[in-house]
Amino acid sequence: MNLVRISLCLFWLGTLPFPIFGSKNESYWPWGPFTTKNDHSQIKFKPVKWIEIKKDPQTYMLTRAKALATDQKTELILTRNEEGFIAQVLTEGKTLMEPRLCTSFAPFFENMYHCGFINDDDQIDFLLHFYCGGNGLNADFNEVTLLLSNDKGYEATSIQTFGGGPEDHYVKIEDKPHFIMKSFGGIAECLDGKTHNFWTYNLLEIKGDTLYLANQNHRNFPRTIWYTFEPNSKETDILSKKDKEDLLIRSVQDLKLIGNTVSHCPEPTQNN
């Protein structure tokens, strides 16, 4: 992803091929079609309810915010210091997740935070969606933090991805929750002798409070799609096997995988 990130700002936002849902009767999935109606289902989310939002009067940057989940009892506390955004979860005054550093991205948009039952237990989970602040293609580049429930409380995991909002990146495959990660990369010389850019899609399974790289869970993944200005979900045929493997390795290098496990968010080093 880092190979082409600097050049992304050269694109005009109005020409971006964001995920498009085709006709009103047929869904268009950018990563390729699912073969049967029962092959997948989307995980549903609802916006959190903000109770408090405080911003620095000079920079207008967020300093502290508090939101309530749809269960009317689980609270998200979001603060920001020099390291970045820090999340904490409480229920009725009891701390269920100690502060975790989510992202170093700076912008805050209150409509980018949602909750839902992501990992299939009876506790509400949170989807935090942090915008990188870029232009061009990077206008759709974000850091997603999932706050997932467990027996003792919650754990946080962050993933950088294009898109990542609640609309179409969270699906159930064989009744198991998954997240679809979208990356961008370029190859200097493809099989046609030219330079091209590509989307790479990886499938991550959500088990309990943790995410795992799980491309083997569906035949559509991993998927490498030639970047074009027309809707395109076909696996590319202009790359060698080696070049596809190179794009795949680059697409997951920021996950800090231990085996196939995505690392959890660290504790902040600074006190708010």
How many percent of the chain have pLDDT more than 70? 85
pLDDT at 18 > cutoff 50: no
Q: What is the pLDDT of residues 162-211, one digit of tens each?
A: 999 998 899 999 999 999 999 999 999 999 999 999 999 999 999 999 99
pLDDT for 15: 30
The band of 30, judged by pLDDT with boundaries at 50, 70 and 90, is low
How is residue 49 written in tokens? Answer: 């309810």
Verdict on whether the full-model pTM lies above 0.85: yes
Q: What is the pLDDT of residues 233-267, one digit of tens each?
A: 889 999 999 999 999 999 999 888 999 999 999 99
Q: What is the pLDDT of residues 38-51, one digit of tens each?
A: 566 889 999 999 99
Please give the full DSSP string across 57-93, using - where no structure is assigned: TTT--EEEEEEE-TTSSEEEEEEE-SS-EEEEEEETT
